[in-house]
Structures are given as C-alpha cells and as structure tokens.
Structure 1
Amino acid sequence: MHISGPIAALTAALLTCSMTTGGGGTPTPPPSAPKLDWQPCAQDSPYDCATVELPLDYGDPSGRTIELAVVRRKATGPGGRRIGALFFNPGGPGGPGTVQMPQMYDTFPREVRERFDIVSWDPRGIGSSTAVNCFARPADAKAWVADKPAGFPVGEQQRKAWIAAYEDLSRRCRQRDPELLRHVSTADTAHDLDRLRQAVGEPRLSYLGISYGTYLGATYANLYPGRVRAMVLDSNVDPRAWTDDASDSPRLTTFLRMGSDRSAAAVLDRFLALCGSTTTAHCAFSAGEPQATRDKFDRLMRRLRERPVGTWNYGRTAGDVVSSLYVVHPGWADLAGRLQELWLGRAPQPAEPPPAPPVRDPAPYLGDEQAAAVLCSDSPNPRDPGVYHALEEASALRTGDAGRFWTWAAEPCASWPAVAADGYRGPWNKRTAHPVLVVGTAYDPATTYWGAQAMATALADARLLTLDGYGHTALLNPSGCVNAHVSRYLVDGTLPPAGTRCRQDTPPFSESRPNGGVATGGGGTAGG
C-alpha cells in the first residue's frame, strides 16, 4: 500500500507482519488525564502541536514511559458550533498522523472541519513519537534500502537478497530496543487513544480511521465499547482475517487472507478496461479498446522481466502499478503516463508526493521497521521464509502481478524478533454506546469491499455505506454523497438508510460531475 501525496506513507506502512498474543484487557487508567501543552507547530501555522508522556506498558504504569507527538487543527466554523475533537488515524500501520493529517486535511468534509477540532498523532513506535529505529545512522538506513529489491523480488537471486535484507533488519531491531518492540501493538495504541481522549476533555470518542485505522477503531470499540460517541471506519480490514481467528500457525499471509491480491487484480483489470475504453488524450496507455489494452500491459510486463528500462524492472513496475491504483485522481492518469513511457522504452519519473504543510521540522524518520513492529505484533504470518515463493506462485495463478506483490508484502515478518506483550484477538461484537458507520469501496486495491462487509457484520452495531467507485478510501477518492452521510453521522449520529450506495464525484478518465452522487436507500445506486 508508493504513490503520490499522503498515500506514500500508507503504501509503505501496509508492507509487513507476524504473531499475536492473547489478552488485551482494558487496564485500570491512571487517576488523572495526561496534559497537552498545545503550541503552534510553526510560525503562522494553523496547526497546533503537543507531546504527551504515557506508559510503555499499561500493565506497569509506573515503569518506562514513551512520548507521543500530537497535532491539532481547530474547528474553523463560527463560535458556538464546535462539537468537540475528532481523532483521525491515517492507516498503515505506521502512518504518522502529524504528517498525514495535515496532508489530508482538505479532503475532510467541510462541515466536519467547521465543527470539529481534527486531532491526530504518531502512534507509538512511529515518526516523531518514541519510534522504532533500527539503524545507528541515517546513512545505514539509506544503504539498507538501496540494497533491497524494489517492489518485490524476481528470481532466485533477488529472493535471497530480499530475505537476507529483512533478516538483517530483524537482527538490528532485536539489538536496538527489544522492549519497545513488545509494546507497539494495536491494543497498546488503542489504550493510548483513550488516554488522548481524556487529555482533550472528551467524555466519549469521535473517531475516523482509514485502512489499518479501521482495525485500530474496531480494537478500541471492543476494549472501550462504552466510550464510543461516533466512529467512521473507511476501507476496512476484516478483523478476523487480520488475526487469522487467533491462529498461531498461519498457512497464508495477512494480505492473502484479507484478499488484497484478488481485490487489486480486479481493480487493475478495471483500470485497463476503462483506459482502453477512452482515448490517449484521457489515458496515455490506451490501445483503443479494453482487451487490446490488457494485452499491451501483459506484453509490457513480460518485456520488463527480460529487459528492464533503467531501474524500472518487473518487480518495481508491478509494485508501482498496485500502489498507484490507490488514488484515482491524479493517480490513474499519472500511472498510465508512466506505463506508456515504459512501453516506449523510456524510464519515467516516479510519482513525487506534494510538499507537506509545515508542521514539524525536521521531518520524522519513517523506516520499514516501524510498520513491521506494529503489524508483526498483531497479525500471524508464516515464519519460514522459504514458503513465500510457493505462496507467490499460487497467488499469481489467480491474480497475476498483484498476487506476487501482496505475497511478498508480508514476508518481512517471517523473521521479525518480537510479539506483542498485550495484543488483542477479539471478540469483536461488544455492544458500543453508539453505532459505528462502516464505509466500503466496491473496487479497492488494498482493503476489499467484502472486508467492509465483514467488519459491519463482526461489530455488534454497525451500518454499511457503499461507495460504488474505485481507489483506497473514500476520504481520498471523494464522493459528495459519502461526505454528506459521514458529516450527518458525525454531527448528530444519523446513520444512512440501510443499503445506501453512493457514487464518486469524478469517475476515472472522465470529467467531474458537478454535484457528485446522491445517495439512495434500500440498495439503490446514487444518481449522477
């Protein structure tokens, strides 16, 4: 999950994993709320920053402490209309909220920005918080990245190099701070979130989580069910697939259990079909009709296996393709342009994220090990690196290039050195104080639509809102229809009618609709 803008971190963050432990019971909270000393993040910045000190181990609250970096954008509406604080997690795991919330801020529905302080944070182990960093010097981290195959390994030599690189990373992490590695699970972060809720003075939590942030939300909802005011879960992880129903001997990887390979393959097929249905003025890679464009893509990928274009080999290109499907605009048109450059034998320029708003300086370190530390604490994966090639080939028979990408995305956890001291494996059906709104996109290349259906079924009281569109998260692939329902729910708790479906404002390779889709109930599709 490596594309432009805020998705770059989401992409890197979804690449890792391994075994969980039982437990995860709610600890007795300390008697007083932690203090947040808000200060402007930078001169003339609309964002406020703070640092809060919390226990490393909630089972030993008087022991070692960690720091969390927190960011806030105050409600922009007129006085008296502010409702409270809305906590936001950008996914990953490993998404740094102090970076990504400001990047994504303008995509939040206008009424939500007007009526809520938007608050986010770098979860423990990540970014500007007490972070997992397994390298003594920045140069060592850069050298490690340079030596690892890009995208995923192709051929026996690259497979050996990939496995060796992540075994080396695991050794480094084991030596640097093994105690921290045991206390960066999703359950730990859920406990942190409840302390942050107390710190801003909210009696109950209002929350928006995307991608992995939906799993964090579900964990919080089941550890603290009585403290949920409103919770929006957008692009959902099936919690039972994530934990493999508490299995200690998984046969599949996290992402294969989730169906990320199948979903990504379906989205790629739609990308090629829609590209082939339009002209090169709208999609540079178009071959004039859908099947011809699919054939052109297959020929390009076979060619790149034999003759890379500069550093653009098959593995790097396939990884770029899957990641670039996350955000339809401008991601899909930009991807088509890069594919056409490769078709012509020219090395394209990789997608560059836009400059982040000036929030924290310097920018935090965000290495692969941070995502690994979280995901490997929660989600079981095969511990034998030797099985991943067979899993890759089996997945590729069903889902092609996407299967190869998503299989190797989990391999770093084969050698990960730590498991969570206090993980959470369910149950997922604790009745919350208020119902949860689950948002699922029909064609999502990372978290499947059936994952959203599974989340809505697993939770005790949830309503599913469907986006008939493309991309990873409705937040980053906007629909005025979805935004209206999300705003109404967050403001006054009104759920959309059962079966409501929405459309995206701007379909791929087309002009924008002026008003977006308008929702209907009972399973009807939104009007244009």
Structure 2
Amino acid sequence: MSARRTGPWWKGIAVAAAVACALPASTPAAAGGRTAPAAVPVLDWGPCPDAPGFSCATAAVPLDHRRPGGRTIELAVIKRPATDPGRRVGSLFFNPGGPGNAAAGTAALPVAYELLPRALRERFDIVSWDPRGVGRSTAVRCFRSAEEFAAWAERVPDGFPVGARERGNWIRAFAELGRLCEQRVPALLRHVSTADTARDLDLLRRAVGDRRLSYLGVSYGTFLGATYAGLFPDRVRAMVLDGNVDPVRWVRMRPALPTELRQGADLGSARTLSRFLALCGRTTADRCAFSAGSPRATRDKFERLLRRLRERPQGEATYAATVGAVVNGLYVVDPGWTELAEDLQDLWEGGTPSLRGATGATGALRAPAPPEGDGEPAYPEVEPAYAVECSESPVPRDPRRYHHFERYARARSGDVGRYWAWLPEPCATWPARAADPYTGPWNRSAVPVLTVNTTHDPATPHRAAVAATRHLGSARLLTVRGHGHTTLLNPSACAARHEVRYFLTGALPPRGAVCRQDTPPFAAPAGK
C-alpha cells in the first residue's frame, strides 16, 4: 500500500482507492488473449543516461489490448545484465510497488538493485519498467505546467483534512483533479488498470525471450503479480510477492469501506506504531531520541505531542502532516525508525524538523519541482496513482461519508486511522473506470507462488498476507518476525535464502516457516 504519493519509491506501497461499486468478474477466457495477439515489442537496448551499468529501451504496446492493431503507447524499460552470464537463468522482472510514480522501475531499480540477493543478481538479468501511465512511459499528466499544478496543490490540506473547511477544500480539489484528467487524457484513464499492466508484462516477458515469467513484486506489486498469475497461469515460472495486498478486498467492496480500511492498513500502522513507541521506551535516548524512559511514558509523550500540534502547529509540522510522516517513517526500520525518533524529539523540543519519514498523503505536493527533461513534467506527479487505483478498486462514492470513515478508523486504530481513511477519498469522485479489469479468480497459477510478509508491516499487514496466500491456492507464506514495510527494505538473510532457493529450484520453504529480521529496531551500532 502506498502512502501518497510522489516521494521516494520506497514510500510507495500499494493500497489506495477507487470506484463506486464492485466490478463484474472477468472470465479467464475474456481476461486473457481473445483476439489476434499483439506484436511482441522490439527492445533496442542502449546505455541509460542517468544509471551507469544499466541498459534502457522503449517498448511499444497497445493502448487497448482488446484492439492490438490500434493505437500504441510507450513503456520505458530498464535492465541490469546477470553478473555471471555463463550461469544465467533468464530475466527476473521487478516491480517496486505503487501504484503511480512509486512503481516507476526506471527510477527504482538503480536504487533497489543492491538490495536484491547477490545470487539473483548473478543468475538473472534484473528487469523493470515504468508501468503505463507512469514516469517515462506514456503518462497520465493532467496539468499543463508547474504553475497550474502549484495553484491546485496549494488548496489541498497536507496529510489529511482536519475540520469542516479543510474537508471541503480537500473534496473540491480532488474532484477538480478528476475533471482535469478526464478532459486531458480521457482514453488513457480507462486503460491504466493493473490488468492492462499485467498484459504489458506478458509482452515484455516475450520481448526478453523468456518462455515463462520470473517475478518479484513488492507492496502493490504483489497485486500486479496476483493479477498476472490469474490472467496467464501457465506462464509463471516463479513468483515472490513481498508485502501483500489482499486481491479480493482490492477489487470487492466487502466490507463497504474504502480500500485501505478494507485492507486493514490503519490497523497495521497502529500496531506497528505501538511497537515503535514500546521499543523506543524500553531503550535509552542515545538509541531512540524520543524515549521517555518506559513504553507507557513514551506513548503518553507521543499523544501529548500530537495534541499540542493540533492546537499549535510548528511551521509546516501540522498535526495531520506529522501523522502522515509517522506512518511513512515506520516503513524502514534501519535507519528510518531512528530518524523518525529524532524528528519527533525535535518537534517535542519546539523545533521544525524536515519530517524525513514523509509529510503525509499530500506532502509530496509541497516537494520541490523535479528538473524538466526527458519528457518528464516540472512538477511532482500525483495523477498516476489515482488513475490506477480509482479505475479498479471500488470505494463509496459519496465524499461526505469519509468524515464518518475517519471517525470509524480513529476509533479502531487511533490517529493513524484518519490518514488511511482519507487516502482513497479522491476516488469517490474519479470519473473513469477500467475498460477491461481483472477481478479473479486468483488461484489459477500452475506453479506455487511464494508470499512473504513481516509480522508488523505498517501498510500491508500480516493478516492481508494470510488472506492473499489463501486466495492464491497453492501459495506458501513465509513469515518474517520483524517490523517495517516489506522484507526488501527490512532485510532478513533467512528470507533471502528461501527466496533464492525458490527462484533457482522452485523449492518452497516448509509450511509455517518463520524467519527473523536481520536488524532489530534501535539496535546498537556495529562494533558496539
């Protein structure tokens, strides 16, 4: 699940929002190839201008896979060749999460490459891409200039809305965003669903010459993997899904809650925050700057800080922005939890820290504009995430109900519940639905899928992984006792060994296997 939405890729998890009513299930025949197949893209690899050692290419794919001879769009593709080419197995496709810009593989892969186990880097070409609608691919861009974007963003409350006036501003601003996108990219809006991207992925698999797909997806990338396995069950070679979205709750509005609340993201954040405060309180201030000497005292200190910020913001550190920063700051234990504790202590002492964890759902709206070039806009893109999620994941369509959902989430998960309740609200007024979505079945893969999840994930809780594993039929769940969003970002050597073995041989971990995280929160520095 992703906290919105244009910050660093590792903040991008997968769960957000969407359309009003449950979508009709696609039959396997209708969801797969139903007309003449699209032409396999030709990848003319060349050096990446801003990623030494990586190769880049552009793939042409159909806008509408039901009409393969019609309009085409472009996908930006990136790869790093296997470092031991004599023992090369094939290509391993990597999706870093999202949806939206967090899923832009051309930016993510150079950052994430060294996090992948060395054995995988030796034996596979590691391939990623910017999904349709995103980044350097044919993108959903709804603002004509940075100035137009800035004028819109100025009206959006940071983090989430607090009070009737901010709620009204939030709802009107995101309704306007939907109208702008409908005016400027109407055709693309209906063809950026996860199913469209899964069909692109199958063309990319063929373009690199692999008979079957090897795939690693994290966060929202787990839903993309599940969708691919449903659409193309006989074309899966090996698939690891890390930080899992429940695919059934993504596409079905049962219970009748917004997407994140159905997924339990608010509960995952609340439980992880509770662990953060407890572990911080059990250690000393030199390891956790926010420690008040005990778990209870540290929790009380945190609650007093939030109450104070509600009454008197400190610069840009409002109550809502701070809650959003806390949620995002829980994603990476080392060094993220240490940095989050330092930021909270700075706030406690009256400072105005940069809130390194992020600045909430809309904090990226205040980010400096990226440099213009290579066809990219000079403003932080927020549109692609909504374009994907809002087209396929149903949410209640009355914006006035989200204040009710906020109260409901606050009652069950505390302050972080407010953040997750408002995250999908823009989808309540989103104008477009996917033309050809996939809504199951999910248990069709010809080979078992390996799911992996930490026990205290602030965005994709362990219970969602249990559900996803059940829906995926013969899948096997590997549990990692630890904290943070995904094991890619919070490594476990034990989990990595299981993943490498599975990718190379197809062997699954034993049923009920449990690993531990390598670096616990607030660990002593190496050598001490």
TM-score between the two structures when normalised by the length of structure 1: 0.91
- Asked if 1:418 is matched to 2:432, the reply is yes
Cα–Cα, structure 1 residues 503 and 275, in superposed 2: closer, same or farther, change >3 Å?
A: same
| Residue 371 (structure 1) aligned to one of 385, 410, 434 | 385
Residue 363 of structure 2 corresponds to which residue in structure 1?
none
Structure 1 residues 141 and 14: alpha-carbon distance in aligned structure 2, compared to 1, 3 A threshold: farther
Residues 96 and 127, structure 1, Cα contact 8 Å, conserved in 2 = yes
The separation in 1 between residues aligned to 2:62 and 2:5, in whole angstroms, is 35
1:490 aligns to 2:503 (yes or no): yes
For residue 467 of structure 1, what is the aligned residue in structure 2?
480
Structure 1 distance, partners of 2:297, 2:86, is 58
Q: Is 2:257 the partner of 1:252?
A: yes
The residue matched to 1:336 in structure 2 has which SS?
helix
Q: Which amino acid aligns with 2:18?
A: C
Which residue is equivalent to 1:51?
58
The match for 1:397 among 411, 421, 427 is 411
**Cα gap change, 1:513 to 1:236, in 2 (>3 Å):** farther
The aligned runs of 1:293-332 (5 Å cut-off) are 293-332=298-337
Instruction: Give the counterpart of 1:182 among 183, 190, 193.
Output: 190
Matches within 5 A, 1:8-19: 8=9, 10-11=11-12, 14-19=15-20
**Structure 1: how far apart are the matches of 2:201 and 2:5?**
28
Match of 1:204 among 195, 198, 212: 212
- Deviation of 1:244 after TM superposition, in Å, equals 1.8
Q: How many residues align?
A: 504
Q: Which residue of 1 aligns with 2:92?
A: 86
Letter in 1 for 2:431: P
**Corresponding residue for residue 452 of structure 1:** 465
Task: Report deviation, 1:61.
Answer: 1.2
Deviations 1:377-398 (A, max 9, x none): 1110011100000110111011
Contact 1:3 1:352 in 2 (8 A): no
Q: Deviations over 1:435-467 (max 9, x none)?
A: 110001100000010111111111121111001
Q: Is the CA contact 1:3–1:320 (under 8 Å) kept in the aligned structure 2? A: no
One-letter amino acid of the structure 2 residue matched with residue 273 of structure 1 = A
Contact 1:126–1:366 under 8 Å retained in 2: no
Deviations 1:169-217 (A, max 9, x none): 0111110011110011111111000000000000000000000100110
Name the structure 1 match of 2:366.
Answer: none
1:128 counterpart letter in structure 2: R
Which residue identity lines up with residue 519 of structure 2 in the other structure?
T
Relative to structure 1, the CA distance from residue 31 to residue 299 in structure 2 (aligned partners, 3 Å threshold; closer, same or farther) is: closer
Q: 1:388 aligns with which of 383, 402, 412?
A: 402
Letter in 1 for 2:427: C
For residues 303 and 352 of structure 1, the distance between their equivalents in structure 2, rounded to whole angstroms, comes to 20
Moved more, 174-183 or 137-146: 137-146
Measure, in 2, the Cα distance between the counterparts of 1:15 and 1:194: 25
Equivalents in 1 of 2:63, 2:49: separation in Å? 28
Query: Once the 2 structures are TM-superposed, how far is the Cα of residue 126 of structure 1 from its aligned partner?
Result: 0.6
Partner of 2:422: 408
Letter in 2 for 1:226: D
Q: Which one-letter code corresponds to 2:177 in the other structure?
A: L
Higher mean displacement: 227-236 or 154-163: 154-163
| Counterpart for residue 443 of structure 1 | 456
Match of 1:338 among 343, 366, 380: 343
Q: Distance in 1 between matches of 2:71 and 2:398?
A: 33
Q: Distance in 2 between matches of 1:113 and 1:61?
A: 34
Greater displacement, 470-479 / 26-35 = 26-35
Distance 1:298 1:446, change over 3 A: same
**1:363 Cα shift?**
5.8
Q: Distance in 2 between matches of 1:169 and 1:5?
A: 16
Aligned to 1:230: 238
Displacement after TM superposition at 1:11 (Å): 3.5
Deviation of 1:313 (Å): 0.7
Q: 1:325 to 1:411 in 2, by over 3 A?
A: same
Distance in 1, matches of 2:163 and 2:139, equals 34
> How far off is 1:37 after superposition?
0.5
Counterpart-to-counterpart distance in 1, 2:526 and 2:394: 43
Per-residue Cα deviation, 1:203-242 (whole angstroms, up to 9, x for no partner): 0000000001001100100110000000000010011111
Query: Residue 350 of structure 1 aligns to which amino acid in structure 2?
Result: L
Match of residue 520 from structure 1: none
The question of whether the paired residues in 2 share the 8 Å contact of 1:445 and 1:472 is answered with yes
Q: Deviations along 1:19-78, whole A, 9 cap, x unmatched?
A: 56433611246264210000000278111111011100011111111100111011112x
1:115/1:301 CA distance change after superposition, 3 Å? same
CA contact (8 A) 1:5 1:103 kept: no
CA distance in 2 between counterparts of 1:217 and 1:59 reads 21
Question: Whole-Å Cα distance in 2 between the matches of residues 139 and 315 of structure 1?
Answer: 25
Give the Cα separation in 2 of the matches to 1:179 and 1:32: 21
Percent identical among aligned pairs is 56
Relative to structure 1, is the Cα distance of residues 31 and 163 closer, same or farther in structure 2, using a 3 angstrom cutoff? closer
What RMSD in Å do the two structures reach over aligned CA positions?
A: 2.2
- Contact residue 4 and residue 423 of structure 2 kept, 8 A: no
2:72 paired residue number: 65
2:110 corresponds in structure 1 to 102
SS, match of residue 230 in structure 1: strand
TM-superposition CA deviations, 1:346-402 (whole Å, max 9, x none): 10023289xxxx9x9576665221000000111100111000001101110111111
CA distance in 1, matches of 2:295, 2:50: 52
Match of 2:158 among 150, 160, 164: 150
Name which of 142, 147, 151 aligns with 1:139.
147
Partner of 2:273: 268
Q: AA paired with 2:452?
A: V
The SS at the match of 2:86 is coil
Unpaired stretches in structure 1, ≥5 consecutive residues: 515-528
Q: 2: distance between equivalents of 1:9 and 1:481?
A: 22
Q: Taking structure 1 as reference, are residues 339 and 2 closer, same or farther at Cα in structure 2, changes over 3 Å only?
A: farther
| 3-state SS in 1 of match to 2:61 | strand
Alignment partner of 2:455: what SS?
A: strand
